[in-house]
Structure 1
Amino acid sequence: MRVRLLRSRELRWMLLGVAALGMVVGSTITIMSNTARAGGALEERKLPMRFGWVACEPNCGWVSAVGIVTADTPKDFEDFARERDLNGATVVLDSSGGSVNDAITLGRRFRGLKMRTTVGTTMRPSRASERPRVQPEAYCESMCVFLLLAGTTRYVPDTAHVRVHQIWMGDRADDAKAASYTAQDLMIVERDIGRLAKYTFDMGGAGDLLALALNVPPWEDLHELSRAELRLTNVMTTELVADVLPAKGAVPVALAPKGQEKGQDRFTAASAEQDKVQSSRSTRTAEALPPNTVAATPQQ
């Protein structure tokens, strides 16, 4: 499957230029949504996902997760988590989606660490006297929504944009209606829908989330979940930002040498191992893909 941006030919060449400079994007990556600003530069949330620790005080902070989920993302997270005790930490997501199976693997890892999740853009201070903060007007699209679902507690700001759509074959989304599909292709898509459904229920999500997502084909605009739908689908479990992000003076998350993870339930661990075994049986996967229109992401 090839790297893909649903914008102009010039932006495609721009991405190739970035790769040539050393930021090589794996062959299974699929970009999840359209450029937010017409003619604008590539946004971080459309590049491969990066993780960062944001310390708000000596003993508190959160994990910033920005970008799309690729085949390398689960390992990148393991490398990031190796020197940190992230049990119970909050992940702040700003992402356009990514690979279905790799997002499932990463989401199960979040749940195993009992992490909390929210949507936002981390704003780092320009002066030492300032604290970092989370800008709530951010995007969580496509498979990012299922990463959000992995949190034990989940908060979505009023101004955040949470959007869903179908999964599709990543190498046939340029013209999904005209493309040809084999029985093997259909098997892959249906297999991954089954994996996604199982994951959704394991994480405590509702079938309504799958119904909303699977009703939007890649040639239509992403569906943005309303506040009512966020509650109906169980994507959001709290209305209080304090349940996921530290207030000034609070010490909810300690940055300490990583110890042995505790408390990961056997059901989640077994499911993660099963996903890993099943994924190894095929080198092709269905990807969560964007609609074939720039209208999916509003102008800003």
Structure 2
Amino acid sequence: MTLLKSLKRRGWLLVGAAACGVVLAGAVATFGSSARAGVSLEERKLPMKFGWVACEPNCRGWVSAVGIITADTPKDFEEFARGRQLGGATVVLDSSGGSVNDAISLGRRFRNLGLLTTVGVTQLNRGGQDARPAVASEAYCESMCVFLLLAGKKRYVPEAAHVRVHQIWMGDRADDARAASYSAQDLMIVERDIGRLAKYTFDMGGAGDLLSLALNVPPWEDLHELDAAELKLTNLVTTNLVADVLPHVDVSAPAMAELAPKTQDRFGEPEQPQPAKSTKTAEAVMPTGGVAAAPAVSSQK
């Protein structure tokens, strides 16, 4: 309940069903056991956290970004970035998605810093104290995480990773979207936010095909997983070489059937405060792997 209250935000939600996340990178990346996957799944249920992973002397290191994008995430990133030389660094994503407009804001900050992006699960302290950190490639990047991936100046997605998309929807009506009623103001808000997402997509160098694929998946269907051809068609992938985003790091897929069960995750929020007439407040419900509670809605000026 405390977590749900802390995730109250305004706006539309990206909604969908699937096991998700974003992960990658490392010397030789393998999961020690399914327990490690469980830890990653639990982390993806929490607000996004950032961490610097050092792998010197032969590797610069990377930024680990794990969890849900909330209205606090852009601010949290600024606090993390303060005093660090992050220009041109790589962000390894492991996320179920989250706030629409806050993801847009964070993505623009990524691009301004010239960051590179990929999908993966960071693994630390493998095989003893002197072992280098690694990144496992079987991971999930869903909903607005996909648009954070797009923010990278260079973008790499390993074969074992799962990148999934779906529609924007009203968070307070995502559980039973077909039975809910909608006002003209509701339609105005969702069209406004689709416009923001479209502009961001093109500003980041993405293709209209990404929006088309995402906006064709309603909230009562499973998320659509992009295959290798679609990753290229949407321009989400700009390189097939992991060395372009993680030099001196080998990436391998863990021998696991699945990281997480398929359940619906619903998130979304605005980029900045909007006039009262066009604002909605929604409660972000539990992401992948949890039982979602019904979100509450209220107005916010």
Q: Structure 1 residues 293 and 25 mapped into 2: Cα distance closer, same or farther (>3 Å)?
A: closer
Give the Å deviation of 1:180.
1.3
Superposition CA RMSD, Å: 3.0
| SS of match in other structure, 1:55 | strand
Counterpart in the other structure of 2:105: 105
CA distance in 2, matches of 1:290, 1:215: 23
Q: Which amino acid aligns with 1:53?
A: W
Task: Single out whichever of 118-127 and 233-242 deviates more from structure 2.
Answer: 118-127
Aligned partner letter, 1:108: R
SS in structure 2 of the partner of residue 61 of structure 1: strand
2: distance between equivalents of 1:28 and 1:280? 12
Give the counterpart of 1:284 among 280, 283, 287.
280
Query: Alpha-carbon deviation of 1:45?
Result: 1.4
Matches within 5 A, 1:24-173: 25-28=6-9, 36=19, 43-57=42-56, 60-126=60-126, 127-173=128-174
Whole-Å Cα distance in 1 between the matches of residues 53 and 288 of structure 2? 35
C-alpha displacement of 1:284 = 2.2
- What displacement does 1:56 show? 0.6
Structure 1 residues 291 and 177: CA distance shift in structure 2, 3 A: farther
Per-residue displacement from partner, 1:174-226 (whole Å, max 9, x unpaired)?
10111111111111100000000000000000000000000000000100000
Partner residue in 1 for 2:180: 179
Structure number with higher strand proportion: 2
Give the Cα–Cα distance (whole angstroms) in 1 for the partners of residues 242 and 203 of structure 2: 24
Cα distance in structure 1, aligned partners of 2:110 and 2:180: 36
Distance of aligned partners of 1:241 and 1:143 in 2 relative to their CA distance in 1, 3 Å threshold:
same
* Structure 1 match to 2:244: 243
Going from structure 1 to structure 2, the CA distance change for 1:110 and 1:155 (only over 3 Å counts) comes to: same
Q: How many residues align?
A: 246
In 2, the alpha carbon distance for the partners of 1:217 and 1:35 equals 13
Measure the CA separation in 2 of the matches of 1:32 and 1:123. 29
Whichever residue aligns with residue 105 of structure 1, its letter is S
Q: Which amino acid aligns with 2:8?
A: S
2:138 and 2:162 in contact (8 A); partners too: yes
Q: What residue ranges of structure 1 are gaps of 5+ in the alignment?
A: 1-15, 249-274, 295-300
TM superposition shift of 1:280: 3.2
Indicate the SS of the match to 1:88: coil
Residue number in structure 2 paired with 1:13? none
Mapped partners of 2:78, 2:131: distance in 1: 30
Superimposed CA distance per residue, residues 253-299 of structure 1 (whole angstroms, 9 cap, x where no aligned partner) = xxxxxxxxxxxxxxxxxxxxxx966x4335427999999999xxxxx
Cα distance in 2, alignment partners of residues 112 and 171 from structure 1: 33
| Shift in CA distance, 242/216, structure 1 to aligned 2, threshold 3 Å | same
- Which residue identity does 2:155 align to in structure 1? R
Residue 163 of structure 1 aligns to a residue whose secondary structure is strand
Q: Give 1:31 deviation, angstroms.
A: 8.7
Tell me the TM-score normalised to structure 2 length. Answer: 0.74
Secondary structure in 2 matching 1:54 = strand
C-alpha separation in 2, matches of 1:291 and 1:88: 30
For structure 2, list consecutive stretches of 5 or more residues without a partner in the other structure: 20-33, 250-269, 291-301
Change (3 A) 1:243 1:292: closer
Distance across 1 between alignment mates of 2:221 and 2:238: 28
Q: 2:174 aligns to what SS in structure 1?
A: coil
Identity across matched positions, percent: 72
SS of residue matched to 1:103? helix
The verdict on how the C-alpha distance between 1:285 and 1:118 changes in structure 2, with shifts beyond 3 A counting, is farther
1:209 aligns with 2:205: no
Which residue in the other structure is 1:12 paired with?
none
Q: Which amino acid aligns with 2:119?
A: V
Return the alpha-carbon distance in structure 2 between the equivalents of residues 230 and 201 of structure 1. Answer: 15
2:173 alignment partner, SS class: coil
Q: TM-score, normalised by structure 1?
A: 0.75
Check conservation: 1:219, 1:293, Cα contact below 8 A: no
Listed one character per residue, the Cα deviations across residues 2-29 of structure 1 (whole Å, up to 9, x for unaligned) are: xxxxxxxxxxxxxx2xx27xx9622128
Structure with larger RCO (C-alpha < 8 A, sep 6+): 2
Q: State the alpha-carbon separation in 2 of the partners of residues 204 and 238 from structure 1.
A: 14
Given residue 208 of structure 2, which amino acid in structure 1 is its aligned partner? G
